[in-house]
Amino acid sequence: MQSGSADPHLADLDLDLEIERLKKERNAVILAHYYQESEIQDVADIVGDSLQLAQAAQKTEADVILFAGVHFMAETAKILNPERVVLVPDMAAGCSLADGCPADRLRAWQARYPGSVTISYINCSAEVKAESDYICTSSNAKTIVNAIPADKQILFAPDKNLGRYLIKETGRDMVLWQGSCIVHETFSARKLIALKIENPDAKIIAHPECEEHLLAMADFVGSTSALLKFAQNDSATTFIIVTEPGILHSMQKLAPGKTLIPAPPEANCACNECPFMRLNTPEKVYLALRDLEPRLEMPEELRLRAKIPMDRMLALS
């Protein structure tokens, strides 16, 4: 891959080769989420969902973890493996769920429900993790909810769509923080119905961050890794994918004979692509490995508090 950069020093570099060279030189591992652009997935050592990447970050013995994902994912890697240098290609790669749930507001909310248990979706800041009793991802959320004693009131933050889906699936009454993912709220029910009419044999598969009326149309609901497995193993040959379209790269590799149709957003835009995930580019991956910057750092006191609910989740996963 040529960089195509405006920077004359980078323009002539073969970024794939340079990234491979730097990985060896730095003893680095690249962890990439399924929503990263295909060029980044192709240079990664591990491509996965947020649970798989957290587990990989915990286990790795590499000196450097380059996290090609968003900020909360890199924080998770640092929480679990503080000895490593954790690099983020672009520090501005946030997440609407994490950004919409500041720790001070979460604390005020928790204070209204004394004696309750807080489960926070991993898409939240380290400060919010530190205030939570359990963390979950979309892969293990049902298991975590089911592990809480029946007499306990559960507060679930920050994704109301995942929370509502979990209430339906587990039968547990939970109080929901009113946050959402800007990407999963852009999908158009009207266009999804039109696609299904055009492709009557296609199965609709959706991430639980989608709104309730979209999930109601889905044949299967699951985390990114569960959607991949479903497309790979199900007998249908055509799937309409209602999540960030970066996943299609890995899905097409795992399910080569299948037709994969990304669900469209309501407007004529690319707003079904996560703007935060897409801040990362192969060029920024290269620069981060070259300069060992930007680096994710975290106060030890915060890390230790945030690790407690993470460890509880990993023990149950």
Q: Which of ligand SF4, ligand 13P, none sits in contact with 277, Cβ below 5 to 8 A by type?
A: ligand SF4
- Residue 274: CB atoms within 10 A of its CB come to 24
Residues 6+ apart with CB under 8 A from 28: 22, 62, 63, 64, 65, 66, 87, 289
292 binds ligand SF4 (CB under 6 A): no
Paired residues of 204 in beta bridges: 240
Q: Which of ligand SF4, ligand 13P, none sits in contact with 90, Cβ below 5 to 8 A by type?
A: none
**Nearer residue to ligand 13P within complex by CB, 34 or 286:** 34
70 binds ligand SF4 (CB under 6 A): yes
Angle between helices 50-59 and 300-316 in degrees, nearest 10: 110
Residue span 103-142 as binding mask against ligand SF4, x where in contact by CB under 6 A, dash where not:
--------------------x-------------------
C-alpha–C-alpha distance, residues 107 and 128, integer Å: 9
Exactly one of 244, 260, 285, 303 binds ligand SF4 (CB under 6 A); that residue is 244
Residue 174 near residue 152 (C-beta atoms within 8 A) = no
User: Hey, which residues between 211 and 240 contact ligand SF4 (CB under 6 A)?
Assistant: none
Q: Which of ligand SF4, ligand 13P, none sits in contact with 281, Cβ below 5 to 8 A by type?
A: none
Rg (CA), the chain: 20
In the complex, the residues that contact ligand SF4 under the rule CB under 6 A are 70, 95-97, 123, 181-183, 209, 244, 274, 276-277
